[in-house]
Each structure stands twice: as structure tokens, then as C-alpha cells.
Structure 1
């Protein structure tokens, strides 16, 4: 790492064009630009990722504007000007693209270790959100309430997923990954305990909400961690235990998750402590601004929200179809058809990995970089497969038809859901790069809102319309979304050129 003292007479920066600075303590690259684009001084390497940023040996090259709302050349706040006047030897930058301190240059074993820890965290949180759905009827009898009320125990966790990332995503950009990630996950684990010993339904519902809200730290931050480690060509997906597993993961994190950098080392922007107004305007409101201003983020988020809602809706639709319609009275037996969904999800993950390691990686080697739209071909294929699976499920639901075809229908359904979900997130990651956490926060807000709402009307819809037409309605909804990935595959490059948040490399 380079660290050099600067003469006090030399100005620390000039206003004008903007260039992001990258952090050295495990933080996401953060730009304080007016147009949020990467400057021309960045050196592109694999996948167009800027591996070397302007050296702090030349302070005049560091030019930025911290007001997102103002155009280039806007004025800085007074506290920023005062903070950067004193530049000391602890101000550092990456020592070239081969710097061993850069997470992308860490050893394979270390990168896989961190990846597995992040995967375990997201597994605990997402499993906790859905596992309660199988206890809905039993819990209703125990506490003397309706099943609609106990359904809220699932919806409230997902509602917490919607709100938490608006805080944890931006906090990870301000204070780095480990602290908000670990604090949120530990608090989420603590709220599992009252659920296990609750004496009333109110305690369960309230604690389930906080489990989701604090647990969403993993949902908001893990994607950015994997981008820091692997880059676009090797981006590893991790998605989808109750109380004990959550606590085990917390203990493992407490022992093994260590800070990756020296807190004394920092960049110039670390000395510019933002005011509360700066924090709110730039970090807490950024996800909502991106959702409104970015058509790619908006439509991809809507598509992912629908598929996410369908996934959570199926946790209640499957018991209706197999327990009530087909008469499989034992809850454990009626849950076995979920194996079809699981096989489809597993196959979808393998397909995404295969696509990334073959066609995507080959294009990366040949051209040196790959446009984000190369993530979309699997998503386009899955856009046709998902509605096919939904119609298949719906029109084989009659008890006069063997249960086998309906169970098998879960394979294309699960395949379509997971491929759309993963490639949609990968596409957003490649587009927004240093703003990945904010994009994920906006995405999670809408997506989790759908995931919380869909289970609430699942029983009424499937009871009144019947499995055949209720499932067909979902199929028609996904058919309407097929043009979304096709549109961005053709016109995505032009749309990205107009973006304020997508780096211009």
C-alpha cells in the first residue's frame, strides 16, 4: 500500500470533475461525485472493474463534489473543506492492480471461506423467514387465533426485509461491511429467543418483524461483499435453520469474522465526516432516488418482486392444493411436493454457475470486458420457463389427475424463479458497482413488500378461484413480464448511458 505525506502548501483537491476513492478496510468503493461516474483516470482491468484509482501522491488529481443533487463544480460543505486541509501519512490507495491487500487478490481459500460464511448468514435468515409457514395452522390452534393472523408471522419477517436495507445498505457504505453486518445479524439472532418461548401471538409477531429487519443486514450487504471478492466473471451466488442455526452462525462470526484492514489507514473522504443532513440526503435517500430515476432498477426490481412474491405465496398454495384438494391430511406428507421446487432451484443455480463459467467467462477472456447485458440470456430463457411451470402446476391440480405431474411442475417453476432472481441481481450488480448496496436496498424494499403481501391473499385467492385459475392468474402475470429482460438486452446499453449511478468506464 502506498502512503506518502503531502506538503501542507499543496492543495488537497480541486473542484471540478469527479473521481471515486476506494477504501482499504473492506469497504465498498465509494464515490462522492455529482454525477456518480468513474473518472477517466481509473485503470480498467478484468471486467471493466477499476483496479487502480488515482494515487494520493498527486493530490491535484483527486477532484470530487460531495453534493449529489448539484451538478459538476457544485460547492462542498464547510466541514468537508476543513476536514481535508490536513492530509497525513495514513492516507493511502491501492498499490496497483496486484496489491495483495485488495480483496480481489486474496487467496482462493480465504475468499471461499468468506463466501461460505456469507452464504451461511443468508441461509439462516431466509430459512427463518419461510420455515414458520408450515406451523401456521398449528400456531393458530395453540394461541386461539385465525390462520390469517398467524400468516402475519411470515409476512412480518419479509416486511422487515423491506425496511432494514434502507438503513444497513447505506451504513455499510459509510462504515464498511463488518460492523453493520455483524451487529444486525446478532440482534436478529437474539430476537429468535422470545419467539421460541412466547406466551402470546403478539410477542411472536413483533419479534418476527425485528428478526427480519435486523437480519436484512445480510440481504443488503452480502452482495457487495461478494462483488469485492470475486468481480463480475466469477461472481458467486448465495441465496436460499431456525433459532439454533442462527445462533451457531452468530457464534462462528464472532470468532472468525475479523476486520480486514487497519482502521488507522483511510482515504481523504474518511476525514470528511458527513453531517446528519449529508447522511440522510446521500445515503438513506439514495436507494429511493435510484428506484425513481433508474428505469433498469425499477423494472428489474418489479420483475424480481413478482417472482419473489410467487415463491412466498407457494408456501401457502402448496398445502391448499395437496392437503385440501387432494386430501393429503398429514402435513409432513403434504410438504413433500416442495421437493420439486427444491430440485428446480438447485438446477437453476447450477445452470447460472455453468453459464457464468463458460460463455460469460469466455467472453471476458476474449474481449477483456463484458457488458452487463450478457447476464440476461439465462434470464430471458427463465422468463418463458416460469409461466410454463405455473400453468403446468395449475392445470394438473385436479384430484382426478395423478399427483406426479403436479409435483414435477415445481421443477420448471423453481428453475425459473431462481434464474430470474439471481441473474436479475447479477445484472444490477454489474451496472451499479460501487452503488450495489444502495441498488440492493431499493430492490429489497419493493421485493420484500411483495413477499410480505402475497401470502396474505394466497388462501383467499386459491379458495375462491380454485387452484386452476389462481395459478393461471400468476402465470399470466409472469407472461406480462417476459419483455423486461428482452428490452434491456437490446436497449440496455443506451439506457445505461443516461444513468447517473452507472459508472461510465
Structure 2
């Protein structure tokens, strides 16, 4: 605790330190500050509450393996179930439209993609709130709301109410995607973050793939409403587990609570967290709520990587919306078997997850030793240099084999190549953003989530018209050429990323 050295500091007086001495991404924070975060008027003061030394067990970086594993497992489980809910009833869209007497193809796609509109707006509020009140409180509140709105979807009496409840589900379900990466960064150092991020990233990538596989057979046997009941039950179990086992991991919140406890115990109202900026709650919220937008607009790294991931995420959901009609009408699959057509993307995604989990940390450590010095976020990018070519390859493969009505396994293999490339890019880019922005990882991730969710929601709306006008071959080729145009990005960031990070555009402070 920093206040234990109060007398020594008082005897020495106020001692100025440089602004860059404050590094919130380190587990060994030993100094506090008063004054502005962007100025140089940072001084050591008495009555600061800090960690009890570098081995303080309250510091999330010092948690035991079991404690970290439990937290990572819970966060990964939440991050899996909410994206799964986005697509679990995709194979039963025709059932929904028939029950509510609607034949609009745009509305059919919108029922699936409206969930992602919630992903667009939820992070803008959730990210700043997590930086004010901590991670665990936001997880618990959003989990409860997610269960409530999932039950509401299962009981929806009309198409309009179903769309409205799906939107609310997306808002609540965006929580783990927004702050999950930040939670992992709270506990895991940069050099070991790749493996943990692999488990977390599998949620937003494998969840939408597993959902239709289960939903296809479930809706065929029990009807489309049971897709939502299953999600509500699973989310309810996870919600109970998070209430019981999930610990707060955000250093700002932990130290703030520690300072409040000590003020009450000692009667010293001057005690405050070493990370306290002196700003009011209102000011903190105003700064934090605009931070994701500022990052998206003024950080080339956040903008370009978010754009790349947004395009891939949009493609993923566009393919999800076209698979049921393709395999039901062209290949004669039943409603239940249509779910199996998502296995190509699922297996490709799982393979990408395995590859990245095996090589990410090892490669980063090897490059660190090779170049000397500290860990650099750019060490995460080499796997994307081959994965970026798999995405257009998979799209061309899928489109033209389906166009010429080749054996049904061939377009599915094409989606597998697309899934493999997409997952490797997603995982490497996600860890790169977390490594690059440290304490602001939640805000950077929120910016990325908003952008990709927006395209994920909008692209499928025009997907059927695109393929109707151009055919599956040329329609997929158009998407593939756009993906091919993005392939230089990983090479550019690997070479010039550090220079870009050190020279912020327009000198904007986040």
C-alpha cells in the first residue's frame, strides 16, 4: 500500500517525475500522480493507495493460475454464447416468416442482422462504464439483461416485437466483445497474451458458426422458439457462475475500492488511489464515451484494422444468410441438414484458432529475442501474411463451385478456407490492438466492435440482391477482389506499425 510510505514521502517533499513514468499496463505500478494526464505536472504525493509491493496478490497479474483460468473461462464462455445467439436461428428464418405471414427477403435478413446493430451501439456506453465501475459489474448486469431479452424473443408475439427484442439482446450481448479483451489484458502480460486471446476470440468467430449447426436440428425438431430458449438457459447458467466466481480485474477499480475501504477504516479522507486522476465521475464518463470514436477516427491502426475486420465480419454474416437458400433450393438439403453446411466455416475457424494459439506467443517471444529490446505489438502480425490470401481464395472457391453446381462438399470447403483465413486475421489483429493500446484496450476494442458490427449488420441486407443480380460466381468474386485489395495491410503494419503508433495523427490524446 502506497500510504505506508507517507512519512518518508512527506519528509522528502513533493518530487516531480516525468509523465511517461506512469505505465498502467505494467503490473508493477509503484507511483501515483496528481494533475492532468496529458501534462507534465505529475507529482508524488502523500496518502496514495497502491499495490502492496510487486507481489501483491490483489494485483490481477499476480493471481494464481487457477484464478486466472477461472476468469478467462468465464469471460470466454460469455463471449461464446452471445455471438452464438446472433445466428442460432438463421436456418429457421423461413419458419419465422411463415408464422408471421411475411415474405420480404430484406426483412428475413434483417431479423438476423438486427442483433449486430445492438453490437454497434452497446460498446459506446459499456466501454466507458467499465472504465468507471469495473468489469465484473458490467458483466453481471448485461448477463441478466441478456437472459431476460432472450426469453422475450422466445415469447415474441409478433415480428416487430421479435426484431425489437433481438436488438435489445444485441445491446446486452455486446458486453463481452467490448471489455473481454481488456479483462484478459488486466491479468495477462503481453508476452503470454496470445494463448488467452485465442480462447476469447473463438467466441465471436466460432459462436456464429456453431449456432446455425445446432439451430438447424433444434428448429426442425422443436420449432424456432426453442433456439432462444436454449440460449436463455445456457446464458442463465453462465450468469450464475459469473456472479459467484468472476473477480474484478480492472486495476483502477480495485485500487479505488481499496482506497475507499482504507478511508473508512482509518478515517483519513485524503487517501486516494494511485491511479486517481482527480476528475469527477461526469468528466471521466465524458472522456471515456468519446474515446472509442476518437480512436476510430484519428488512429490509423484502429481505423484500418477495424475496417479490415469489419469487411471480413460482414462477409461472414452475408455467407450465413445465403447458405440456407443455396443448399435448400439448389442441393435439396432439409432444414436440419442445412445446419451442417456451416461446418466448413466452423472447421476452418477451429483450425485457425489452433494455429494462432500454437504460434502467436512463441513467435512473439522469438522475434523479441531476435531483435532485442521490449515486446512489440507488431510481433503478432506475421501469421496474417498468409491468412490474408486465404480469404479471397475461399470466396472465389465458394462462389464458382456453387455457380456451376459442383458437388456440395466443394462450396463448403471454400467456406472452410475463408473461415481459416478470417480467424487468423481476427485473432492476430485483436491481440495487436490490445498490445498496442494497453490500458485503453477496452476502448480500442469497442471502436473495432462498433465498426465491424455495423458492416456485419448491413452487408447481409443486400446479400441476396447481390447474388441475384451477379450470380454466386461473380457475386463472390466481387467480395473476393475487395478482400484481395486489403492484403497489403498486414505487411504495411508489420513494417511501419511502430512508427505509426509513435506518431499519433493530429496529436490526439486518448
For the criterion TM > 0.5, the same-fold answer is yes
- Alignment of 1:94 onto 2:47: no
Residue of structure 2 aligned with 1:129, choices 70, 86, 92: 86
Q: For 1:406-427, what per-residue CA distance to the aligned partner results, in whole angstroms no more than 9, with x for missing partners?
A: 2211221110111111111111
Three-state SS of the structure 1 residue aligned to 2:392 is helix
SS in 2 for 1:478: helix
Instruction: Summarize deviations over 1:360-418 as a string: whole Å, max 9, x none.
Output: 23344674632111111111211011111111111111354222222211221110111
From 141, 162, 168, the equivalent of 2:126 is 168
Residue matched to 1:255 = 244
Decide whether aligned partners of structure 1 residues 276 and 358 sit closer, same or farther in structure 2, where only a CA change above 3 A counts.
Answer: closer
Determine if the alignment matches structure 1 residue 328 to structure 2 residue 286: no
Partner of 1:187: 145
Describe the shift of the 1:50–1:9 C-alpha distance in structure 2 as closer, same or farther (beyond 3 A): closer
Task: Report Cα offsets for 1:237-265 as digits up to 9, x if no partner.
Answer: 21235221111111222222244657233
The CA deviation string for residues 17-76 of structure 1, in whole angstroms up to 9 with x for no partner, is: 42xxxxxxxxxxxxxxxxxxxx14659xxxxx53322435xxxxx35414x6xxx358x9
Per-residue displacement from partner, 1:317-368 (whole Å, max 9, x unpaired)?
21232222x2324122233221111110000000101112432233446746
Do the aligned partners of 2:71 and 2:247 also contact (CA within 8 Å) in 1? no
Which structure has greater helix proportion?
2
Instruction: For 2:507 and 2:408, locate their aligned partners in 1 and report how far apart those are by CA, in whole Å.
Output: 48
> 1:275 offset after TM fit, Å?
4.9
What is the match of residue 26 of structure 1? none
Mapped to 1, the partners of 2:420 and 2:95 lie a distance apart of: 30
For 1:350, the equivalent position in structure 2 comes to 354
Equivalent position of 1:35 in the other structure:
none
Residue of 229, 232, 239 corresponding to 2:187: 229
Q: Corresponding residue for 1:481?
A: 486
State whether structure 2 residue 224 is matched by structure 1 residue 267.
no
Aligned to 1:51: 27
Partner of 1:276: 282
Alignment correspondent of 1:464: 469
The secondary structure found in structure 2 opposite 1:99 is coil
For these two proteins, the number of residue pairs brought into alignment is 458
Q: Aligned pair 1:65/2:36, yes or no? A: yes
**CA positional deviation for 1:176:** 1.3
Alignment partner, residue 100 of structure 2: 143
Distance in 2 of aligned mates of 1:406 and 1:485: 27
Q: Of 291, 306, 327, which residue of structure 2 is paired with 1:286?
A: 291
* Pick aligned residue for 1:339 from 329, 339, 343: 343
Q: Which runs of 5+ in 1 are unaligned?
A: 19-38, 44-48, 57-61
Change (3 A) 1:17 1:418: same
SS in 1 for 2:382: helix
TM-score (norm 1): 0.84
CA contact (8 A) 2:35 2:277 kept: no
Tell me whether 1:405 sits opposite 2:443 in the alignment: no
Map 1:360-371; keep pairs closer than 5 Å. Answer: 360-364=364-368, 367=372, 369-371=374-376
Report the Cα offset of residue 486 of structure 1: 1.0
Q: Provide the residue aligned with 1:449 in structure 2.
A: 454
Q: Distance in 1 between matches of 2:34 and 2:504?
A: 21
Q: 1:21 maps to which residue?
A: none
Q: Is the 8 A contact 1:318 1:335 kept in 2?
A: no
Distance 1:503 1:41, change over 3 A: farther
Which whole-Å CA distance do the structure 2 matches of 1:268 and 1:42 have between them?
12
SS in 1 for 2:27: strand
Matches within 5 A, 1:180-219: 180-219=138-177
Whole-Å separation in 1 of the counterparts to 2:22 and 2:353 = 37
Change (3 A) 1:293 1:503: closer
Q: Is the 8 A contact 1:137 1:147 kept in 2?
A: no
Query: Any gaps of 5 or more consecutive residues in structure 2?
Result: 207-229, 260-271
Cα distance between partner residues in 1 of 2:334 and 2:507 = 52
Structure 1 residue 290: Cα displacement? 1.1
Report the 3-state secondary structure (helix = DSSP H, G, I; strand = E; otherwise coil) of the residue aligned with 2:315.
helix
Partner of 1:158: 116
Shift of residue 154, structure 1, vs aligned partner:
1.7
Question: Alpha carbon RMSD of aligned pairs, Å?
Answer: 2.9
Contact 1:287 1:441 in 2 (8 A): yes
Aligned counterpart, 2:226:
none
Deviation at 1:483, TM superposition (A): 1.1
Structure 1 position 378 matched with structure 2 position 383: yes
Quote the offset at 1:278 in angstroms. 4.6
Structure 2: distance between partners of 1:65 and 1:345: 45
- Matching of residue 3 in structure 1 with residue 3 in structure 2: yes
Contact 1:161 1:445 in 2 (8 A): yes
Aligned counterpart, 2:268: none
The aligned counterpart of 2:420 is: 415
CA distance in 2, matches of 1:12, 1:387: 63
